[in-house]
A and B are shown apart, each in its own frame.
Chain A
């Protein structure tokens, strides 16, 4: 039974998987950055399917917009070229690939064991009325229950801005002053 929800999930999921694999395979950082943008845009689609409208909008604006612009800007500023690969150790290949396969198959088996039961299904009716995932509902939660963490993050952002400016400015030459 293929519902519209499942088809859309598979579509966005395929874009996510392809983008993530492409990020690993590409040698040039700008190609990796562009595939990461594709992953983030497809993830915004998944959030919409899960009823998280506010999170989907913020994902596109903050992640795919602001953060990735910063990445692309730095890649172009530093004129990053193709990366040189160093050969990994042979033990890592011999142990890593079977270990990775075993681990991922185990996780997939544990997760998919209960996939058929209806109790774990997601989608359709989310409860809490039509308000679920809307900005007013999130704002209510953010400014009542999570007020202290919210204020602390504002301090974190302030410190991050000051730190970024302090780190990225050119150090003065010792002759002119400072130490």
Chain B
């Protein structure tokens, strides 16, 4: 038996690492991966709460989060490719114009 709070601590740590990576990294692909890390942290707390309350709704929500993450990854990486084609850089400090 593992206390629920251990799972929540791990989930919070993963989310915090995602936020820190989003803020301190300068490569746009790594920033995108930090967002995925945040989503994974949230998924863990969904599953832990589902096990705690003996309910399956949390699992269904994790399923939806994964679907949205897949859609987000497809569109986001396409945007990264389009930006790289015009700017020729992946550094977010150099992407300071919305104009192409």
Contact = CB atoms under 8 A, between A and B. Distances in A.
Q: Do A and B bind each other?
A: yes
Interface of A: 3, 5-6, 9, 13, 16-17, 20-21, 23-24, 29, 32-33, 36, 39-40, 43, 46-47, 49-52, 54-55, 58-59, 62-63, 66-67, 70-71, 74-75, 77-78, 80, 83-86, 88, 100, 104, 107-108, 111-112, 114-116, 118, 120-124, 126-128, 132-133, 137-138, 141-142, 145-146, 149, 153, 156-157, 159-161, 163-165, 167-168, 170
Contacts of A128: 54, 56
Interface of B: 1-10, 12-14, 16-18, 20-21, 24-27, 29-30, 32-34, 36-37, 40, 43-44, 47-48, 50-52, 54, 56-57, 59-60, 62-64, 66-75, 77-82, 84-85, 90-91, 93
Nearest to A108: B9
B67 A157 contact: yes
Contacts, number: 224
Given A32-B33, A120-B4, A142-B60, A58 B66 contact: yes
Contacts of A51: 51
B75 to A, nearest CB: 5
